[in-house]
Amino acid sequence: MSLAVSSHPLVASSKPWRPVWRAAAGTATPQHRLLQQALAADALSPATLGGLLQAVQRHDLPPGPCRLPLAAQAPSWWLVVAGQVLVGKAADDGSLVASRLVPAGQWLDVASAWSGRGWLETAVCRTPVTLWALPLQTLMAHCADDPALLHAMGRVMADRVRQLTEGCQELVTKDVTARLASWLLRQLPAQDGGPVEIRLVEEKRSIACQLAMAKETLSRCFRRLVELGCIEIQGYRVTVLDRRGLEGVAGVAVP
């Protein structure tokens, strides 16, 4: 999915970036590990990682609308390195109706580099944010020497397609309560333990929009999950008490 940015004056610092830490031979720097994790590729050679990092453009942004001089930026993959970015559609009153939250370590946009159309959605920095722009030309050049990078890029794009496909399938196969249960499960850590608290960082109107329901319907669904003993809720804090029960409501196969 691509993103759109309004044509406001630049309010971020934008500068070429070079590795800050020089590691001993055979030792990965924090930057190496971050990029390797974002690409979900353990097999990338040190030469490939080093070459990619040398080409990174770093952008430091304050909280608020994400304003970047995209016309001056080469087509790139965009990675959130620090902070959180809300992505969605601008409402008539100028507020953002968020469709997803992109935390540090996740790709903000991998589509616009291929389409050449710029960002199609509105992005708002919820906190101070650091973005890396990794030029597509550099990625493709290194793919020729390191096939593992080509496979890693394919997996990143395939995972985004899977997320979009699953979202569409949920809309047509699940009722409103099941969609909310599925959404809550996606906010949970992978490990299955005791009660887990989720702090909702998006407005409930935005969550309702993501799930294709009215805000009032979302409130009823939250109450239903409370009645079922799956969750407790206080304001914007949701505590998941029964993960298996939540999985049952969401229609997730439980072994």
DSSP 35: H
How far is the CA of 92 from the CAs of 87, 89, 95, 135, in angstroms?
16, 10, 7, 34
Query: Would you call 187 helix, strand, or coil by DSSP?
Result: coil
pLDDT given at position 89: 81
Tens digits of pLDDT across the chain (255 residues): 334 433 332 234 444 444 333 444 455 688 888 998 899 877 788 889 999 999 999 999 999 988 876 666 789 999 999 998 988 887 777 777 777 888 899 999 998 888 877 777 888 898 999 999 999 999 999 999 899 999 999 999 998 888 777 777 777 778 899 999 988 988 887 766 678 898 887 778 878 877 888 889 999 999 999 999 999 999 889 999 999 999 999 887 554
Return d(Cα 31, Cα 55) in angstroms, integer: 13
Cross-strand pairs, 58: 15, 132
DSSP element (H, E) containing 154: helix 147-173
Structure tokens at 12: 């971020």
Angle at 12 between CA 152 and CA 66, to 5 degrees: 65
pLDDT given at position 91: 74
pTM of the entire predicted model = 0.72
Identify each DSSP E strand in the chain by its residue range: 13-16, 57-61, 64-65, 76-82, 84-90, 96-103, 107-109, 122-125, 129-135, 196-199, 231-234, 237-240
First-to-final CA distance of the chain? 33
Alpha carbon dihedral 49, 154, 75, 100, in 10-degree steps, equals -100
Residues 66, 85 contacting (CB under 8 angstroms): yes
Residues 219, 240 contacting (CB under 8 angstroms): no
